A and B are shown apart, each in its own frame.
Chain A
Amino acid sequence: MHMKKFIVNMFATTGISLILLATIALFFKAEYLYIPTLFQTLGANIIIHLCLMLLHKLELKYPILEMSLDISIVIITLIVFGAIFGWFSSTPVWILTIMSVIMYGISLLLNLMSMKKEAEEINTLIQRRNKKSN
């Protein structure tokens, strides 16, 4: 299996399992399992992905500007959610910011791995096409 797919699947199933567990715990009033932060994180992720999707639709000309806006969206959303839901009582803002940067870095690396694979596939297609033409 493709490495990126493996890692993404692993994180996705972990995330889904946690949300399902928390939902079940909410219905059965199992307080030891019910973790509201999970739903808050899910909300933050939905907002982040929606904003990133809209931003990428703009197709900004400068990749550095796009990346800066990407990371700003992630940090601002998490800070706003943290302020609303009182995350900062247990986690300082700077830790949350570093966490966001690490998360963004990991997703960037995963993305680059998959892009590398796509580039190899396209370069093979180009070579095959050129060979046929000659």
Chain B
Amino acid sequence: MKIKKQQDPSCPNIEITLRYANEDGKVKRILSFLQSVEMQIKCDIDNAEKMISVADIYYIESVDKKTFVYLEKSVYHTDHRLYQLMDDLKEYGFVQISKSCILNINALDSIKPLFNSRMEAILKNGEKVYINRGYLSQVKKALRGDECI
């Protein structure tokens, strides 16, 4: 894959052209990632609103009916419900890993098995989250690029 970048002060917005022979899994992943950079969700921290780029999110968790957005080093609260976010974000590489958590598949570094039908997912920032066995097939699908990308 060749990457060309060009700085042009007269260009008001970032412009990306993707040239490919066939729209395969790799092309779809690039497109999905580019779209996730543009896609933002409204979050808040210390009563201040902030728009967070979907590509920066590691995982989203619902705790006591409140939804929290986890980034590499910070956590934000959002008014969105988890099921809404799951619907909105599945095309950007997000996959459900338990009843209360959705994970950005691009943030996944490795997984290891635990007792009692659970897996421990180790994220790129070293954080750990649980994957329930019932959702493993979705994780595999997402990694193969069948579903969410």
Contacts and interface: CB of A to CB of B under 8 A. Distances in A.
A4 B107 CA distance: 31
B118 A123 contact: no
A108 B115 contact: yes
A2 interface: no
Contact of A63 (B26, B100, B114): B114
B116 A119 contact: no
Interface in B59-114: 98-100, 108-114
Interface string A66-106: 11001000000000000000000000000000000000000
A119 B115 contact: no
B108 A112 contact: no
Given A59-B99, A59-B100, A129-B143, A118 B113 contact: yes
A19 B5 CA distance: 71
Interface of B: 26, 29, 98-100, 108-119, 130, 132-134, 136, 139-140, 143-144
Interface of A: 56, 59, 63, 66-67, 70, 108, 111-112, 115-116, 118-119, 121-123, 125-126, 129, 132-133
18 contacts: A56-B117, A63-B130, A67-B115, A70-B116, A111-B116, A112-B115, A115-B114, A118-B119, A118-B136, A119-B111, A122-B111, A123-B110, A126-B109, A126-B110, A126-B143, A129-B143, A132-B26, A133-B29
A40 to B, nearest CB: 27
Nearest to A109: B115
A115 B140 contact: no
Contacts of A66: 116
A129 B115 CA distance: 27
Nearest to B145: A129
B99 A125 contact: no
Of B112, B113, B133, the most chain A CB neighbours within 10 A belong to B113
B20 to A, nearest CB: 14
Contacts of A119: 111-113, 119
A70 B115 CA distance: 12
Contacts of A59: 98-100, 132
Contacts of B132: 59
Contacts of B98: 59
